Amino acid sequence: MTHRFLFYMTVLSVPFFWGLATWQSSRYGDLEREITKLEKTQEEWVENNKRLLAGIAFLSSPDRIEHIARDELGLTKKQPEEVLQISIDGDQGLYGGGE
């Protein structure tokens, strides 16, 4: 009786494990496709970040800023002797005296 039960259980478990292996294989393929898609998206983001960083470097270059200030805005560099520096002591308050 026990041998017959084990035989039937073995025979019935083969299709179950075969179906389980097929399901796992299908799931593996789905995950592999998703990983490929995510890697492609990551690569696109990295390339976009590189372009943005290059744009920032170009837009913030001192030569470009000086060119815009001088040629487009009509600004000129001041010589050190043309600059007036004002310093305010923190102890005096806004209007000078403490009265």
CA distance linking residue 46 with residue 54, whole number of Å: 12
Q: Is residue 93 part of a domain?
A: no
Residue 41 pLDDT? 98
Q: Total domain count for the chain?
A: 1
Q: Is residue 99 part of a domain?
A: no
Q: Of residues 33 and 10, which shows the higher confidence score?
A: 33
CA distance linking residue 46 with residue 38, whole number of Å: 12
pLDDT tens for 44-99 read 999 999 999 999 999 999 999 999 999 999 998 888 888 888 888 766 555 655 54
Q: Is residue 23 part of a domain?
A: yes
User: Which residue range(s) make up the domain with 34?
Assistant: 2-87
Q: What is the pTM of this model?
A: 0.52
Residue 30 pLDDT? 96
Cα dihedral value 43, 49, 54, 57, nearest 10: -150
CA distance linking residue 59 with residue 54, whole number of Å: 9
Q: Is residue 92 part of a domain?
A: no
pLDDT tens for 22-50 read 999 999 999 999 999 999 999 999 999 99
Position 77: which residue type?
A: K
Q: Is residue 34 part of a domain?
A: yes
